[in-house]
Each structure stands twice: as structure tokens, then as C-alpha cells.
């Protein structure tokens, strides 16, 4: 991300909150084959949003202020493997549907 200011970080937070709520609202529709991966994504968002809010309270930034925070540990980095597994699962489902 090039423009690492609070304005853009806030927009990312808002988007992440919408994604998170969509996932939580539809947990009953998650296929068992990708449950673990979805939980990895939820865990990531839980940790990321908590860290965001803590950093926000600490810094009290203006919209134009630099806003970069680093993960406390490696367990909260975005789970790229889970994302890939979920994407591939749904891509395969779509391809099967169109056959």
C-alpha cells in the first residue's frame, strides 16, 4: 500500500468489517471442506481489528497522519493459504456447476 495514512487505513478497516460481518452472518453456509480456512480468516480479522483499534487509541491520528502498525506475532498475518484454498474450492464449484 503506497499511501499509508489513517484515511486509507480507515477505509480498509471499514471494508474488512463488512467482509467480516458477511462471513459471520453466513457461517451456517460454509461447506465443511473449508471450515478451518474460514476460521483462519475470521481469526485474522479478529486480531487485525483489535490491533487496529488499540493502535488508533494510542496514536489518536488525524486523517492525513501516517498510520502503520505491525503484527504482534506471525499468527495474525493474513492467511494466504486459507484464502487460496477457499478461492480454489469455490472456483472448482463454479466450474462443476457450468459443466
Look at 24 and 4; give whichever has higher pLDDT: 24
Distance set, CA 79 to CA 3, 6, 66, 90 (Å) = 23, 24, 25, 17
Angle, CA 77 vertex, CA 89 and CA 55 arms, to 5°: 135
DSSP for 11-71?
Answer: HHHHHHHHHHHHHHHTGGGS-GGGHHHHHHHHHHHHHHHHHHHHHHHHH---TTSB-----
Q: What is the pLDDT of residues 10-62, one digit of tens each?
A: 999 999 999 999 999 999 999 999 999 999 999 999 999 999 999 999 999 99
- Amino acid 1: pLDDT: 54
Q: What is the pLDDT of residues 66-92, one digit of tens each?
A: 988 777 777 678 899 999 999 999 999
Amino acid at each position: 500500500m503506497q499511501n499509508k495514512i489513517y484515511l486509507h487505513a480507515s477505509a480498509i478497516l471499514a471494508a474488512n468489517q463488512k467482509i467480516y460481518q458477511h462471513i459471520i452472518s453466513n457461517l451456517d453456509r460454509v461447506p465443511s471442506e473449508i471450515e478451518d480456512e474460514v476460521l483462519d480468516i475470521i481469526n485474522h480479522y479478529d486480531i487485525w481489528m483489535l490491533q487496529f483499534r488499540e493502535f488508533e487509541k494510542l496514536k489518536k491520528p488525524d486523517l492525513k497522519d501516517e498510520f502503520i502498525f505491525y503484527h504482534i506475532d506471525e499468527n495474525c498475518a493474513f492467511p494466504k493459504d486459507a484464502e487460496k484454498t477457499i478461492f480454489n474450492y469455490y472456483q472448482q464449484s463454479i466450474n462443476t456447476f457450468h459443466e
